[in-house]
Chain A
Amino acid sequence: MTHPPAATNPAPKVRVVTLKIDDHDVGARETDSILEIAQANGIRIPSLCYLDGLSTWGACRLCMVEIEGFSKPVSACSTTATEGMKITTNSARLKRYRRMILELLFAERNHVCSVCVSNGHCELQDLAAECGMDHVRVPYRNATYTIDSSHDLFRVDHNRCVVCTRCVRVCDEIEGAHTWDVMGRGVNCQVITDLNQPWGDSQSCTSCGKCVQVCPTGALVKKGTAAGEMEKHDDFVPYLAQMRKRQ
């Protein structure tokens, strides 16, 4: 009979704290982020750049929540719980902020759902529906971005990219290839493969497709999919991450 190997380092002791999220009393480990606690307790906080299993990025700012005693809202994904915290996840102000952030994203690049292969399976689209963003008040920038179809299996359409860097992180942290990175600054930011070479020419890409699966929009897709056909499975990333931690 085989036994699991004995742990050489016992896990560090973590304190348990109790706090309130939207008037629900919840218990959590003090190392957990507010977003994780909310998810574990069935409380929905919108988010885009966060993905269980990847490092916290804190960039989409959709998961902003209000904490009693804090002058400004904080991002739920990057803030850990403390004893007695009182958190509001859905105030009128937060709803307004989320809506505006989504409007900014929709105006930044081209997100025409009807001709997108991810139509119906898109996190950005779902968030817009969830947050009641039915029209965009800021002017569309109408900037034209390139599409790179040089890879045998996949395609990147920068017009659909929201620069959440999930692809960058999954490639670096889970696959270990670090094919993806970000180039430029401000509104000229763009995800790139290797040193901004065509994806098909990439020496580091293992064609594992993790980046495609974790992409929340139609920016990274499988070739040969028509409008509405691209379904993604980002649920295997937490599983992979957990398996690695156990090794």
Chain B
Amino acid sequence: MNLEDLADITEAVAAAAESRRHCVRVCMAASCQSCGSGEVLEGLQTQAKQNADDGVCIKPVGCMGLCSAGPLVSVDSDQPATALLYQDVTVDDTEDLYHSLGDQPVERLRCRTDVPFFARQQKVVLENSGIIDPEQIDDYIAAGGYRSLMRAVTEMSREEVLREVKESGLRGRGGGGYPAGLKWATVAMAPEPHKYVICNADEGDPGAFMDRAVLESDPHRVLEGMALAGYAVGAEHAYIYIRAEYPLAVERLKTAIKQATKKGLLGRRICETALSFEVEVRLGAGAFVCGEETALMASIEGRRGQPRPRPPYPAEEGLWKCPTLINNVETLANIPAIVGKGGAWFKSIGTENSTGTKVFALAGRIANSGLIEVPMGIPLREIVHEIGGGIPDGRRFKAVQTGGPSGGCLPEQFLDMPVEYDTLRSAGSIMGSGGMIVMDETSSMVDVARYFMEFCMDESCGKCVPCRAGTVQLYGLLDKIADGEATPSDLELLEELCDVVQATSLCGLGQTAPNPVLSTLRYFRHEYEEKLRPESERMPRMQIVTLDD
């Protein structure tokens, strides 16, 4: 496979598209499938068969973003923002929908696309999502895919690829925000002959589904990013560590690996060069801690998924003691665009210290829940009130939880803050992998903290004492406070325990487990204090019963 072959495939796909009068795209990502998009797809295909019309192409595609309005169907445009978009489509609507093609649209199903949800987004990682068929490699190639890899391995040196990534200013999208270029350079500099690339797809934060959507919608993009990483750091083997709870993503990823290997874009002698790059899928057994890089590597090695102290960092001593590059799905999905369009182009998006775009999963009490991609530095208010459409049922905004169980809750006063790694951190929260849970005035912040602590307690691996025995005590204290049975000394103890767990835990899970408690205490302390009943009420008065009564 070479650049000419890619051009031929692109032409063939374009020619096939031109020969058709209409193209109907049905979202077949997990969230739309869960509300029946599979039936809608079948219904439309049946219509096409019955009408014996080969001028209509019914295409399963990836996530279109607005998950709360699913199943989504787009007609005749390769951009959801400009397409005729239908929402809440059921199998009964497919007949009307099919017959409306080329005619008046079905008004009752129309989803407005001129709203900020579509207009304010800027897509890099999700540029093909909802447009291409994730199970067809030709579709990805026609959308410009595998060009960066092809160019890199035939025309660019490893150093040039590294330079572009460094120049882009890309920071790890898994949560840490570590400069990707620096990590790559460290692995590239390691003298050992055997190195590994790992794609961390063990997304497990409650309310987060960015990586799942990227893998389900555009798996080849992640593979291309991994291959570029392998080329830049000198690794020939790679693993995708993905949780088994994402069966659709796993299936599409496996299909993609097979297709790319068959076309000579992965495997041995990629792109007609002497280079090899083999990718294996490893399924996680459902442990949140396995998203932590050292625990993840232990799990790949077939050992118990427990973290180990760092240093040595994986870049120095990782999988099977070899230098290992671990990046998150979204980080790797940015790479083809960075190598293709240049690091300077990527740097022009976002802010100075947080470049590029970020994919967020909007969930909770918000009108438009779903997947969005926005430039870094966008104010929180724009995400919540404009793109997200605000809080439904006329309720008031109360807080937004960013960064999952490791993150924090930010109240209204931070709504005008630009969303960046450093600003979020200074406000007591983190970017995390990009989960955003919006809460309205009916949410109790003590309950929120208790919920996240329960999650961390259940997911603690049990290796280190503060995390194993500390989170369970923190949960107990929060439970006591939420039930109105606590005393002021319990609140003091809660704060002291948070400090100990945060400062002494072995890995990120324990170190960040107290964050939801600390951030809610910082901004909603009065809610905790309200739950502490005065002493007079705590001690029921003794009743004296005499025989005369």
- The verdict on A101 contacting B465 (CB below 8 Å), with A139-B473, A187-B472 known, is yes
Q: How far is the CB of A188 from chain B (nearest CB, A)?
A: 7
Closest to B505 in A: A61
Q: Interface stretch among B161-169, B171-179, B321-329, B454-462?
A: B454-462
Give the shortest distance, in Å, between A216 (CB) and chain B (any CB). Answer: 13
Chain B residues with CB under 8 Å of A100's CB are: 496-497, 500
A90 to B469, CA, bound (A): 23
Report the interface size for chain A: residues with CB under 8 A from the other chain: 35
Minimal beta-carbon separation of B461 from chain A (angstroms): 5
Could you list 17 further interchain pairs (A-B, Cβ under 8 angstroms) beyond the known A73-B503, A101-B465, A189-B468?
A56-B309, A59-B506, A60-B464, A61-B465, A75-B506, A97-B503, A107-B469, A108-B468, A138-B497, A139-B473, A163-B462, A185-B462, A186-B459, A186-B461, A187-B457, A187-B472, A189-B461
Q: Does B493 contact A (CB under 8 A)?
A: yes
CB proximity to A under 8 Å, residues B479-505: 493, 496-497, 500, 503-505
A58 touching B506, Cβ below 8 Å: yes
Query: Is residue A45 within 8 Å, beta carbon to beta carbon, of the partner chain?
Result: no
Residues of chain B contacted by A59 (CB below 8 angstroms)? 463-465, 506
CB neighbors of B among A147-191 (8 A): 162-163, 181-182, 184-189
- Beta-carbon contact of B462 and A104 below 8 Å: no
Bound complex: CA of A78 vs CA of B463, how far in Å?
Answer: 15
Question: What residue in chain B is nearest A73 (Cβ atoms)?
Answer: B503
0 or 1 for each of A47-62: is its CB under 8 Å from B? (1 = yes): 0000000001111111
Q: Could you list 5 A-B pairs, sorted by A, with CB under 8 Å?
A: A62-B465, A97-B503, A101-B466, A185-B462, A187-B469
- Which A residues between 114 and 162 are near B, CB-CB below 8 angstroms? 137-139, 141, 162
B308 touches A187 (CB 8 A): no
* Any A CB within 8 A of the CB of B37: no
B21 at the interface (CB under 8 A from A): no
Interface assignment of B89: CB less than 8 Å from any CB of chain A: no
> Which chain B residues border A246 with CB–CB below 8 Å?
none
The answer to whether B461 and A185 touch across the interface, beta carbons within 8 angstroms, is yes
Give Cα A175–Cα B504 distance, bound, in whole angstroms: 32
Q: Is A64 an interface residue (CB 8 A)?
A: yes
Counting contact residues on chain B (CB < 8 A from A), the size range is 20 to 34
Residue from the list A72, A75, A104 in contact with B473, Cβ < 8 A: A104
> When chains A and B are docked, how far (Å) is the Cα of A105 from the Cα of B469?
7
**Does B43 sit at the interface, judged by CB under 8 A?**
no
Complex Cα spacing A114 to B506, Å: 32
- Does more than half of chain A's interface fall in helix, strand or loop, or is it mixed? loop
* B276-323 with Cβ < 8 A to chain A: 287, 289, 304, 308-309
Q: Cβ of A185 and Cβ of B460 under 8 Å apart?
A: yes
Query: Are B470 and A104 closer than 8 Å at their CB atoms?
Result: yes
Q: In the complex, what residues of A have CB within 8 A of residue B406's CB? A: none
- Distance from B27 Cβ to chain A, minimum over Cβ atoms (Å): 36
Residues of B within 8 A of A163 (CB): 462, 468
Q: Check A186 against B308 for contact (C-beta < 8 Å).
A: no
B312-363 interface with A by 8 A CB criterion:
none
Inter-subunit contact A105/B506 (CB<8 Å): no
A186 touches which of B471, B496, B504 (Cβ 8 Å): B471
Q: Which of B469, B471, B493 contacts A137 (CB 8 A)?
A: B493
Interface presence of B476 (CB below 8 A)? yes
Q: List 5 tightest A-B contacts by C-beta distance, closest first.
A: A189-B462, A78-B309, A104-B469, A186-B460, A58-B309
A187 and B500 in contact (CB under 8 A), knowing A58-B309, A108-B469, A138-B493? no
Contacts of A58 in B (CB 8 A): 308-309, 464, 506
Say yes or no: B497 contacts A188, CB within 8 Å: no
Query: Contacts of A104 on B, CB cut-off 8 Å?
Result: 465-466, 469-470, 473
- Nearest CB of A to B428, in Å: 16
Please give me the residue from chain B that is nearest to A188 by CB atom: B462
A186: chain B residues within 8 A (beta carbon): 457-462, 468, 471-472
A172 CB → nearest B CB, Å: 11
Report the bound CA distance from A78 to B469 in whole Å: 21
